């Protein structure tokens, strides 16, 4: 699995180098096609009888672009099927998919997505609202965005830009208009603003749900690295917007995955693999990153809307993560700022690091530190190791694959230790999602005395 997946990442990386420049050129050449599709959008109304009304939110399947590559590794397809099976078990009324159907935007990837929906739901499909992501505009050869939009529309049977009203709630599906990583909504923004004005006139005391692929820059977890610069100017006009966005793959278990400012943003993680921020020794794509596809189950009642974080890995009933820390929005709704970073960071407590029980070993010129896991009022996000009082190495914990399965005994592999067989000292501190660091540390020494 590891080698096959690595080839997929290198293939995508190679495509990015060619496509990123082409995306800007193509975006400049095709305004009329995208805008015509947006302007033809008609509001569609639906009604369900379920109580509670249930809406699933998922994203980023990044299915292989060809049948050959699917034959080499179908992990992401299996993750999608597991997810859909769990959602069928929960009898969801609606599925929101926040983009990046394929690792590249091929007809094969789009059709594979449709076939999975047909296989799991058959004629009993819920309402499905899917948007495109930046990967859905990419290809290894020269392309135009129009071709990708056309393939999406023909195979999925819907426009990349949609406005649904379900049980009185507005859901606006806003695809980017190009494969740009940072400015994908330059043309969509005007359309989105117009649709939000319509929704606002009909949403007193209710949130308006917007599905974008990219997060607005500097909002929820991951947007500081991967956010779009063209969304905030529109969304900041509408305080009752709740924006669900994919793209970053950052873990939804992190409390920073919901943000409130002038509006609300929620990061949807990914069904393919989890990615995290740079700067840690175990990498932005950490070990076993593809094992735990996750997403949301949103439940509407008369008094509130609650957001449950679901781990789909078992492929049957799913497992709710952080049940005691569900996010919820009281009805009638207004943006009260309860999920602002500032308020929650101020109420946060630092992790507690055990002060004994650690040891170190040297194998193949590498130092391994073994110690009991630290504790936290939420979870330990990472560990900071100070080597010989000067050098620093940072490591993610294994939180991203589910809090119930976090290791009680931590092993860290330190690299680039000069003369590891000689005497060295290691000071280990725990760090949580908000950057709070344990007041005490665990100290370990190794090597010649």
Helix/strand number for the chain, H first, E second: 10, 21
Return the SS3 of 191.
helix
Return the SS3 of 35.
helix
Give the closest residue to 61 by CA, choosing from 22, 97, 108, 21: 97
Q: For residue 307, what are its two tokens?
A: 């957001």
- How high is the pLDDT of residue 6? 35
Residues in the chain: 449
Q: Contacts by 117-122 with C-beta closer than 8 Å and gap 24+?
A: 117/84, 119/81, 120/81, 120/84, 120/85, 120/88, 121/84, 121/88
H/E element, 96: strand 94-97
Q: For residue 27, what are its two tokens?
A: 């975006």
H/E element, 161: strand 161-166
pLDDT tens profile 237-271: 999 999 999 999 999 999 999 999 999 999 999 99
CB atoms within 10 A of CB 165: 18
Between vectors from CA 169 to CA 315 and to CA 193, what angle results, nearest 5°?
A: 105
Return the SS3 of 145.
helix
Q: For residue 148, what are its two tokens?
A: 């990708």
pLDDT tens profile 359-399: 999 998 889 999 999 999 999 999 999 999 999 999 999 99
Residues 355/442, Cβ–Cβ less than 8 Å: yes
DSSP letter (8 states) at residue 432? E
The burial of 13, by beta-carbon neighbours within 10 Å (0-12 exposed, 13-18 middle, 19 or more buried), is given as exposed
Integer CA distances (angstroms), 315 to 61, 220, 319, 423, in order: 15, 28, 10, 49
Ranges in the chain, pLDDT < 50? 1-31, 142, 448-449
- How high is the pLDDT of residue 354? 93
Return the SS3 of 65.
coil
The burial of 123, by beta-carbon neighbours within 10 Å (0-12 exposed, 13-18 middle, 19 or more buried), is given as exposed
pTM for the model stands at 0.92
Residues 43/204, Cβ–Cβ less than 8 Å: no
- How high is the pLDDT of residue 33? 67
- How high is the pLDDT of residue 415? 85
Q: For residue 17, what are its two tokens?
A: 């180098």
- How high is the pLDDT of residue 19? 43
Give the closest residue to 55 by CA, choosing from 160, 159, 127, 157: 127
CB atoms within 10 A of CB 108: 19
- How high is the pLDDT of residue 144? 67
Cα(86)–Cα(429) distance, integer angstroms: 38
Residues 211/173, Cβ–Cβ less than 8 Å: yes
């Amino acid at each position: 699995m590891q080698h096959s997946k690595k080839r997929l990442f290198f293939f995508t990386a190679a495509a990015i180098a060619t496509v990123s420049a082409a995306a800007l050129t193509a975006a400049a050449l095709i305004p009329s096609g995208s805008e015509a599709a947006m302007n033809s959008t008609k509001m569609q109304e639906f009604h369900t009888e379920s109580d509670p009304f249930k809406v699933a939110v998922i994203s980023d399947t990044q299915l292989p672009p060809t049948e050959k590559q699917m034959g080499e590794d179908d992990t992401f397809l299996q993750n999608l099927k597991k997810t859909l099976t769990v959602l069928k078990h929960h009898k969801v009324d609606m599925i929101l998919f926040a983009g990046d159907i394929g690792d590249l935007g091929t007809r094969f990837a789009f059709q594979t997505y449709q076939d999975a929906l047909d296989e799991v739901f058959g004629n009993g499909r819920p309402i499905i609202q899917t948007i495109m992501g930046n990967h859905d505009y990419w290809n290894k050869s020269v392309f135009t965005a129009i071709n990708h939009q056309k393939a999406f529309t023909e195979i999925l049977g819907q426009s990349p830009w949609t406005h649904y009203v379900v049980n009185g709630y507005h859901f606006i599906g806003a695809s980017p208009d190009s494969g740009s990583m940072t400015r994908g909504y330059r043309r969509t923004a005007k359309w989105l603003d117009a649709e939000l004005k319509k929704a606002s006139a009909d949403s007193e005391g209710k949130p308006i749900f917007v599905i974008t692929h990219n997060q607005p820059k500097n909002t929820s977890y991951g947007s500081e690295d991967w956010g779009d610069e063209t969304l905030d100017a529109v969304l900041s006009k509408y305080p009752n917007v709740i924006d669900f966005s994919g793209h970053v793959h950052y873990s939804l278990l992190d409390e920073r995955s919901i943000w409130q400012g002038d509006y609300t943003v929620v990061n949807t993680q990914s069904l393919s693999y989890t990615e995290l921020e740079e700067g840690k020794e175990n990498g932005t794509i950490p070990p076993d990153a593809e094992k735990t596809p996750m997403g949301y189950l949103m439940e509407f009642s008369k008094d509130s809307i609650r957001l449950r974080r679901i781990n789909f890995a078992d492929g049957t009933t799913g497992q709710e993560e952080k049940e005691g820390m569900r996010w919820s929005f009281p009805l009638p709704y207004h943006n009260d700022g309860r999920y602002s970073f500032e308020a929650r960071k101020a109420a946060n407590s630092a992790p507690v690091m055990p002060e004994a029980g650690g040891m170190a070993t040297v194998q193949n010129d590498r130092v391994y530190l073994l110690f009991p896991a630290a504790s936290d009022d939420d979870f330990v996000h990472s560990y900071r190791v100070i080597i010989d009082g000067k050098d620093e190495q940072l490591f993610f914990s294994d939180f991203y694959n589910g809090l119930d399965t976090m290791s009680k005994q931590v092993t860290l592999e330190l690299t680039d230790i000069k003369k590891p067989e000689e005497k060295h000292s290691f000071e280990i501190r725990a760090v949580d999602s908000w950057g709070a660091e344990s007041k005490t540390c665990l100290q370990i020494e190794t090597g010649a005395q």
